[in-house]
Structure 1
Amino acid sequence: MAAPTRFPSFMSPLVLVAAATLAGCSTISSDGSLLGFITPYRMEVVQGNVVTQDMVAQLRPGLTGDQVRTLLGAPLLADVFHANRWDYVFTIRRQGAPAQQRRVTVFFENDRVARFEADSVPTEREFVASIDVVKPSSRKTVLELDEQQLRAIPVPAPSRSAQAPGTAASGPLRSYPPLETSVR
């Protein structure tokens, strides 16, 4: 019977380091934050055309492709294999806000709009409000003090260089050259 083989002595610290590294990976949560405290910066990703309710309201059967392009812009997807279909997809992913995706699909027959399908598209005001992720601060900035707060501020002690009342100012402590020459 053969004796069991032993790992070299340098392998046990290596195994411990590998186990600690793998355990450290599990502290990152699914939202990308480390233990809920540290969140990495995520770049804002905006793709496609913003299509509002006003634009969809102007879209109607019978418009030409050029008119649709003028109204909605260039489609994000105009497939070669489905030339009679234009897809307008808008997606935005911002840190601190849920991802948004909206679709408008226009179907053509003989270079004229036959029909269109649109998700619930917002008005322009609703769209601007939905992408505004500025969180209101719970702390209010005080811009002025009331009388009680003004009285609570300590009066600074007079400095040694302050002159006694009633004495005239003696002029500058240093002699500076004139700013402009008097010869013109």
Structure 2
Amino acid sequence: MRLTMKLFTRLASIILILGLASCAYRIDIRQGNYIEKKDVDKLRINMSKEQVAFVLGNPVLNDTFNKDTWHYIYTINYGDGRPDARIELILDFTDNKLAKMSGNIDEPENFNQSLDI
């Protein structure tokens, strides 16, 4: 009787430990430039690199072969099992002025309205 009670206690403890371990919280892992739509909506054609850096910050990735292309990449690895998310924004400059944007963020409605008067 004592042996079965000891065995039962050990098995219950192991089951409890394994059950609690499977409920461990996994954090979301966020990397890169945090990009918000409200900030991207401030971008306008012909903005200088300094103006863009003021709005979005400096890009995490610098292309050493092409200083006129800036890559903003933001990834989220969700700890709860949801599919990972990746946001990309690529800005192309001509003569130190913003000329074009691409990526998986929609171009702002007023992007082609220059801030220059």
Alignment of 1:153-164 (within 5 A): none
In the alignment, residue 91 of structure 2 is paired with which amino acid? V
Identity of aligned residues (%): 27
| Separation of aligned partners in 1, 2:23 and 2:60 | 31
Higher strand share: 2
What does residue 37 of structure 2 align with? Answer: 53
What is the TM-score when the length of structure 2 is the normalising length? 0.63
Partner of 2:101: 116
- Give the drift of 1:116: 0.7
Preserved CA contact (<8 Å) 1:78 1:87? yes
Which residue, 52, 56, 64 being the options, matches 1:68? 52
- How far the C-alpha of 1:50 sits from its partner, in A, is 1.8
Cα-to-partner distance string for 1:57-116 (whole Å, 9 max, x where unaligned): 111110011110010011011111011100000001121132110011100011110111
> Where does the alignment leave 5 or more consecutive residues of structure 1 unmatched?
1-36, 122-184
Which has the bigger relative contact order, CA under 8 A and spacing at least 6?
Answer: 2
Take 1:118 and 1:58, find their aligned partners in 2: how far apart are those partners?
16
1:120–1:110 distance in 2 versus 1, CA, 3 Å = closer
Say how many residue pairs are matched: 85
3-state SS of paired residue (2:41): helix
2:4 corresponding residue in structure 1: none
The residue identity in structure 2 corresponding to 1:56 is: V
2:105 is matched by which residue type in structure 1? S
In structure 2, do the counterparts of structure 1 residues 39 and 81 end up closer, same or farther at CA, with 3 Å as the change threshold? farther
The structure whose Rg is larger is: 1
Q: Which moved more, 1:80-89 or 1:90-99?
A: 90-99
Are 1:98 and 2:83 matched, yes or no?
A: yes
Q: Where does structure 2 lack aligned partners over 5 or more consecutive residues?
A: 1-20, 107-117
List structure 1 segments (4+ residues) > 3 angstroms apart after TM superposition: 37-44
Q: TM-score, normalised by structure 1?
A: 0.42
The answer (yes or no) to whether the contact 1:60–1:115 under 8 Å persists in 2 is no
